[in-house]
Structure 1
Amino acid sequence: MGSRNLVICDREQEYAAAFAAYLLKKQELALQVQVCQRLEQVKRIREKSEIQVLLLSEDYSEEERNSIDAEQVFILTERAGGRQISREGADSALEIYRYQSAEMILAEIFGKCSEREAFDGLFFTKVRTQKMEIIGVFSPCHRCGKTRYALELGKKLASEANVLYLNMEVYGGIGGYFSEEGPTIADALYYARQEKQDLGVILTTLVTHMGEMDYLLPVKVSEDLKGVTGEDWIDLLRQIAQCGLYDVLILDLDEGLQEVYQILSFCTQVQVIELSDPVSQAKLLQFDRELHLLGYEDVRRKLTRQEGHA
């Protein structure tokens, strides 16, 4: 089999070059990325090898778009909407809003292509790892440094392992520890619910990096999490584990999550952040008694306490 190609054909040279540069940083990408400014260049590539993914500017006419043979065509437009555009004698093309983030453009491309068996294994070579460790970081105490602890733990472990940090707080604080723009954990939940999607392919387009550690931004709207069930979360975690991309998954958990004890039960480790003041100790005692009362003895057994900082 010859090389597999993703071709970008756009008259805005700087735009095409910037997106290509982003793609080339994706080390797992199993496609050769090529940039063209004219359709004649695309046709010359097609004469030598197949084009799996073609991104075309909307400036080209329907006749010009139909003249190029590619397995999947995407039209870069200046309007949002994601319309399907029929192509004579070929699969329909999909419109993609060109001025959204590169991560979201790539997620849309992978989302569409992963619906077709012909694209299986086309994009990413999965790195097989041993069983994934899931570390839940939780506290019934507020302002105890839980998120700071979880992030520092993740960055420390990331020096020797592939680590993904998930902020599952109802109010995770966009713009605090995290960047303000980009895909969030709500996007990962959405894709996990799509039966035909390969979450491993999508996930690599959603994560942001903090040093050597990958993370997903927290939700921007708290209501996006309040309706998520424990079963939904566990399904997401299972799919992440099945991807084989990560050795360690760190969950920064919130007491406001539905069925949070079920999520803690799914973890392989539970680290509880504590404070020494009387009020915090009373909350920790209530938490422990509640676990016992509700039958979560497994959570109590794998629980370790870590000193927090107010």
Structure 2
Amino acid sequence: MARTTGSWIEGVVGAPLPTSEPLRVAIHGIANRRAFYETLAPAADPPGAVVVDDAVTLRNGSTTLTGELYRPCDDQGQPTPDTLPVFLFLHGGGFCIWNARMVRRAAMRIAAAGFVVLSIDYRLAPENPFPAALEDTVYAAHWLRQNAERLGIDLAKGLSIGGDSSGANLTAAATSYFLSGMTSLTAAEHQDATPLPIHQILLLCGIFDLGKRLVEKTSGPGTTEVMVNLAYLGPQFLTKHSDPLVSPARADNVDDFPRTFIACGSADSTLPQSLALTATLADAGVDVTLSVFAGGDHEMLLLAENQLPGVDAEWSRILAWLSA
């Protein structure tokens, strides 16, 4: 009989998850894990929002970038015509797996609170290592500004940006990049474009210092060593851990970060990362809010209330903060 992870996620998705052991051996194990998750249907859409486009194209060519676009809807399920603030959502998956469809429920919760939400399918490692995912994040921010009128975006309210796990890392890294004057990424498409100013950021169960993550006793076997370090950063990953675009907690401009909400489960192996970043931002005088979801494991905020009691209450706290 094939071994499985025994993870709580198996009960949620109704299928056994493959053991992560291949990841400890070789990067090619990532392909099997990615393929498995892509066979799963997304969670049911939450009320109050609608998928406007599940295959919006931001960029064509050798480096295609697509995503999903959501808006609030009326009682008949029709998207509201209002001009709204915008939120850029970045999915998790250790920089190597998952996609916008898999985190649709979380992103649509934000849309239902009164945002135009773009959730992108940034390029994944190992096929596209650092900084490809970050470049796609930056490109998406430029694209939102350039298409604001067509999308019904209120430019005066700036850009809210957030994500889960590796998406939270990309959120913080992009924030540091924008604050630095946008000089450290060399892709030509970034040089003459001005993004929306960052209004606020939402960081869900993120990883923010990859050097510390490697030696934390709660570091996930396989995921940290192979997916995050070898696949995303490459064989010389130790030389990149101090780069603020890799470990944004080490950025020298954290004191300029916008208002920040950090959420993580108390049983999440990444909790030390959230606690440490909260302390760093607070010490720098940033308006930062920390919420620790009692008993929550990694990525549990992607679930529905009937799958895990307390999810709705945590999202109510998050959405109230976003809308303040």
TM-score by length of 1: 0.29
> Which structure is higher in strand share?
1
Larger radius of gyration: 1
TM-score by length of 2: 0.28
Tell me which of the two structures has the higher relative contact order, counting C-alpha pairs closer than 8 angstroms and 6 or more residues apart.
1
